């Protein structure tokens, strides 16, 4: 896989990157102890836009090591931008993406934004809370 040119719109500003990978995260871990955004905080109301440039074989090895040691943000070919919303301008190109770990192919621009207070949880009583009453 080779890097591709991606155009991002963040805070009404367009920026172009030759990227191997762009990950939008609101929490630090992809899963299985792979930390793509070590400084992400789900409570700050911002997304971490992680941009990984094209990597040589040895740079990729270092990237993988840092991914699993929670230090990928220290890699010379990784940059992170914090934003409330991001658009990835792709036109009508049909390309693969991962959405929360699920691979799929879609065409068109991607628009990702924070929805404040968008998740409502209903928590029932536990046995312990009933016993303490």
The residues facing 101 across adjacent strands are none
Per-residue model confidence (pLDDT) at position 101: 81
Mean pLDDT by 10 residues, the chain (133 residues): 88 91 92 93 93 93 96 95 94 85 89 86 69 51
Distance CA 44, CA 93 (A): 33
pTM recorded for the entire structure? 0.83
Q: What are phi and psi of 2, to 5 degrees?
A: -115, 155
């Amino acid at each position: 896989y080779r890097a591709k040119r991606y155009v991002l719109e963040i805070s009404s500003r367009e920026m172009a990157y030759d990227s191997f990978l762009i990950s939008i995260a609101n929490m630090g871990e992809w899963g299985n102890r792979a930390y793509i955004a070590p400084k992400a905080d789900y409570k700050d109301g911002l997304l971490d836009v992680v941009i990984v440039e094209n990597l040589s074989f040895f740079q990729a090895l270092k990237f993988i090591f840092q991914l699993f040691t929670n230090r990928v943000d220290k890699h010379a070919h990784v940059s992170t931008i914090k934003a409330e919303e991001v658009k990835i301008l792709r036109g009508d190109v049909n390309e693969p993406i991962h959405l929360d770990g699920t691979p799929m192919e879609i065409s068109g621009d991607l628009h990702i934004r924070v929805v404040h207070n968008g998740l409502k949880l209903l928590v029932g009583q536990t046995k312990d809370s009933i016993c303490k009453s």
